A and B are shown apart, each in its own frame.
Chain A
Amino acid sequence: MGLEAYIAVSAALFCLGVVAIVVRRNVLYVLFGIEMILNAANINFVAFNHFQGGGLEGRMFAIFTIILAAAEAAVALAIVLNIFHLFNSVKPSEADLLRE
């Protein structure tokens, strides 16, 4: 399988992540979509690294992306819990305290 096949899958996963964020009215789907987008980026890093030869740069970048995704998931979950606690809802549009 060539590089193009991996890039196509990664682009499709990225699009689905954006769709998950845009289409569903629930904060948790925003988190799901972000995870999909980060994973799509990771596929690209590793695929380009592999097809460029024996380097490690892309893989290292992917590892750091995974680390930051873990940190992001933990903080985002805490924020979601707080939003639910404050507004009694998980709809992103109802968290509008700053709008007043």
Chain B
Amino acid sequence: MENSSKIFYAVLALAFLAGQGWGMATGGVEGLAFALFASLTIGGALMCIWERSVVRSAFSLLATFSGIAGFFVLLHSDYLAMAQLLIYAGGILALLLFGVMLTPPDLGERKLPRVLTGLGVFGAGFAWVSLKVAATAKWAVRDDAPVEVGTNAERIGLGFLRADQYVVPFELAAVVLTVALVAAVYIARRRPGDLVDREGDAA
């Protein structure tokens, strides 16, 4: 492992431990779970940017998607957590890995100064904006909001089916998904002329 990667992972591990301590101190068990999921999400994204190999980047997104599924559990959205795991961690990630397999590796593509500059610039921007927002924003949070208990998967399912709720967007989404998948197959297929051209190039 290169030295820069050693430093990066050491910093990541320290930030993870500090985050766990902060979560435990501010929110007890829920804070600990939040800190765990947050470090999975952010750490996975950082690793994705950092790693030279595209395969490692793709697999580090698994941590990001799982952490977000954990957030959904904490936010009482069990159906969404399940959908997140099935569709993102199961489907989209497999699709991205398929793309990784079909393209050649380019280990010299990651330039360390560029990565550090990007992280620095956007980190500074993020810090500045969040300080501004934290100082001025008033969130539309209801203090008298009812506490959510139990599961809402059944309500979501009924919402998809009832005509006065989401049945039209639901059907539209189904049509869009079908069209997009058929179009993806159409775009990605090999045309009869391609093979001939390739052979002509080689000869």
- Name A's B-contacting residues (CB within 8 A): 1, 3-9, 11-13, 15-20, 22-29, 31-32, 35-36, 39, 42-43, 46-54, 56, 59-60, 62-64, 66-75, 77-82, 84-85, 90-91
Contacts and interface: CB of A to CB of B under 8 A. Distances in A.
Nearest to B141: A51
Contacts of B12: none
A58 B21 CA distance: 31
A45 B30 CA distance: 20
B20 interface: no
Interface in B142-186: 142, 145-146, 148, 152, 155-156, 159, 166, 169, 173, 176-177, 180-181, 183-185
B45 to A, nearest CB: 4
Interface residues of B, number: 81
A77 B97 CA distance: 10
A92 to B, nearest CB: 11
Given A53-B146, A60-B156, A75-B183, A13 B42 contact: yes
B156 A59 contact: yes
Given A12-B42, A19-B119, A39-B88, A24 B103 contact: no
Contacts of B77: 46, 49-50, 59, 62
Nearest to A47: B75
Interface in B17-38: 23, 26-27, 30-31, 34, 38
A28 B187 contact: no
Nearest to B177: A71
B80 A63 contact: yes
B75 A84 contact: no
Contact of B68 (A16, A43, A59, A80): A43
B119 A66 contact: no
Contacts of A9: 38, 41-42, 71
A1 B80 contact: no
